[in-house]
Amino acid sequence: MNEMITPNKWALLPLVVFLVLFIGAGIFYDDFYKFPILIAALIALIFAAITTKGSINQTVERIATGAGNPDIMIMVFIFLLAGTFSGTAEAIGAIDATVNAALTFLPPSLLMSGLFV
């Protein structure tokens, strides 16, 4: 089972597809939040599945094995939870409340330095 794996530059093509989609859409729309990053990742994943050699079952198994890596799953959970927290904080008005509290209670001399921290 010790197969020698040779590096292949074409293996990075799904990453290139992701970057082109995300950066291209951000430049096109003048806003990187208009095109969801998850859609770009899904399109790149589908592209990777289509261009992979082997049967569809082998491809899905490879993707599931790679996605099942504990380090990858922790990164995915952090990404999803950060988005959930951000969306919830914005929906309940916590961002505006925090800004208003800072403007109310902090002296003006500290507000300018807060822009750069």
The model's pLDDT over 43-95, given as tens digits with 9 standing for 90+, comes to 999 999 999 888 888 888 888 888 888 888 888 889 889 988 998 999 999 99
Residues 13 and 55 in one domain: yes
Q: Please give the model's pTM, rounded to 2 decimal places.
A: 0.63
Q: How many CB atoms lie within 10 A of CB 18?
A: 19
Residues 77 and 47 in one domain: no
Ranking 12-16, 18-22, 81-85 by mean pLDDT, the lowest is 81-85
Residues 46 and 72 in one domain: no
Residues 22 and 33 in one domain: yes
**113 found inside a domain:** no
Q: CB burial class (10 A; 0-12, 13-18, 19+) of residue 110?
A: exposed
Residue 25 near residue 34, CB atoms below 8 Å: yes
Q: For the chain, what is the mean pLDDT?
A: 88
Residues 83 and 54 in one domain: no
**75 found inside a domain:** yes
Domain that holds residue 56: 9-67
Residues 19 and 51 in one domain: yes
